[in-house]
Structure 1
Amino acid sequence: MNIGTIGKFWLYFLETPLRRQTNKRKDMFNKIKMENDKEIIKELDIDYIGDGAKNHTLDIYSIINQDENTPVIINIHGGGLIYGDKELNFNFSCELVKLGFKVVNVNYTLIPDGTFYTQIKDILAAFTFISSNALKYKLNIENIYVIGESAGGLLALMATGINNSSKLQDIFESTTNNLNIQGIGLLSIMLNTQLKDMVQVINPYLFTKQDREHKSFPYLRNPLAILQETKLPKTYLMTSEEDFLNKETLALRQELDKHQIPNKMIYFKKGTNYSLRHCFPIHYPIYKESVTIYNQIKNYFLFNNVS
Structure 2
Amino acid sequence: MSLFENAIIEITKRKLSKALDLDNVIEMSADGLKEHRDIPYTNRSGKELLMDIFEPIVAPGTELPVIINIHGGGLIDGNKNLSTGFCRQIAKRGYLVCSLEYRLIPNVRVYEQFDDVCAGMDCVGRKLVEFDVDFTRIYLVAESAGAYLATYVAAMKKSKALQDAIGYEPTRMSIKAMGLISGMFYTTRKDDLGRFLSRSFYGKDARSLAMAQYTNPEHPEIIYNIPPCYLITSKADMLERYTLDFAGELGNKGVEHFLRHMGSDPKLIHAYPVLRPDLTESERVIDEIIGWFRQHENALGH
Q: TM-score range by the shorter chain?
A: 0.7 to 0.9
Q: CA deviation at 1:205?
A: 1.3
- Return the match for 1:293 from 278, 282, 285: 285
Counterpart Cα distance in 2 of 1:214 and 1:140: 41
What TM-score, normalized by structure 1, do the two folds share?
0.84
Which whole-Å CA distance do the structure 2 matches of 1:191 and 1:176 have between them? 19
Looking at structure 1, the residues matched to 187 and 41 of structure 2 have their Cα atoms a distance apart, in angstroms, of 26
Distance in 2 between residues matched to 1:244 and 1:85, nearest whole Å: 20
Query: Corresponding residue for 1:135?
Result: 129
1:239-278 equivalences in 2 (<5 Å): 239-271=233-265, 275-278=267-270
**Deviation digits for residues 105-138 of structure 1, max 9, x if unmatched?**
0111111011111111111111222234432355
Determine if the alignment matches structure 1 residue 41 to structure 2 residue 34.
yes
Partner of 1:164: 158
- The Cα shift of 1:189 comes to 0.6
Please say if 1:204 is aligned against 2:209.
no
Shift of the alpha carbon at 1:288? 1.3
Q: Residue type matched to 1:225 in 2?
A: H
Give the structure 2 partner of residue 61 of structure 1: 54
Match of 1:12 among 11, 17, 32: 17
Amino acid at match of 1:65: V
Deviates more, 1:233-242 or 1:250-259: 250-259
Q: Decide whether the 8 Å contact of 1:85 with 1:107 is kept in 2.
A: yes
Instruction: Tell me if the contact between 2:234 and 2:261 (Cα under 8 Å) persists in the aligned partners.
Output: yes
Which sections of structure 2, spanning at least 5 residues, go unmatched? 1-5, 298-302
* Aligned-partner SS, 2:259: strand
| Larger relative helix fraction | 1
Paired residues, what number?
Answer: 289
Q: For residues 161-200 of structure 1, what are the structure 2 equivalents within 5 Å?
A: 161-175=155-169, 177-199=171-193, 200=195
Q: CA separation of 1:196/1:172 partners in 2, compared to 1, >3 Å: closer, same or farther?
A: closer
- Partners in 2 of 1:76 and 1:155 — Cα distance? 8
CA contact (8 A) 2:153 2:170 kept: no
**In structure 2, C-alpha distance between the alignment counterparts of 1:252 and 1:296, rounded to whole Å:** 19
Residues 223 and 259 of structure 1, relative CA distance in 2, 3 Å threshold = same
The TM-score with structure 2 as length reference comes to 0.85
Alpha-carbon RMSD across the aligned residues, in angstroms, is 2.7
Corresponding residue for residue 108 of structure 2: 114
Contact preservation (8 Å) 1:168, 1:229: no
Q: Is the 8 A contact 2:224 2:255 kept in 1?
A: no
Percent of aligned positions with the same letter in both sequences? 28
The code of the aligned residue for 1:119 comes to Q
Whichever residue aligns with residue 275 of structure 1, its letter is: K
1:281 pairs, out of 273, 280, 299, with 273
CA separation in 2, counterparts of 1:47 and 1:165? 30
Per-residue CA shift, 1:136-193, capped at 9, x if unaligned? 3555432111111111110111111112334433443443554221101111111111
Structure 2 residue 211 is the aligned partner of structure 1 residue 216? yes
Do the aligned partners of residues 134 and 11 (structure 1) sit closer, same or farther apart at CA in structure 2, a change above 3 Å counting? same
Is the 8 Å Cα contact of residues 58 and 106 (structure 1) preserved in structure 2? yes
Q: CA 1:232/1:83 → structure 2, altered by over 3 Å: closer, same or farther?
A: same
Are 1:75 and 1:148, in contact at CA under 8 Å, matched by a contact in 2? yes
Asked if the contact 1:211–1:217 (Cα under 8 Å) also holds between the matched residues in 2, the reply is no
Answering whether residue 145 of structure 2 is matched by residue 151 of structure 1, we say yes
Q: Is the 8 A contact 2:32 2:92 kept in 1?
A: no
SS in structure 2 of the partner of residue 265 of structure 1: strand
Contact 2:33–2:54 (CA under 8 A) maintained in structure 1: yes
Tell me if the contact between 2:166 and 2:207 (Cα under 8 Å) persists in the aligned partners. no
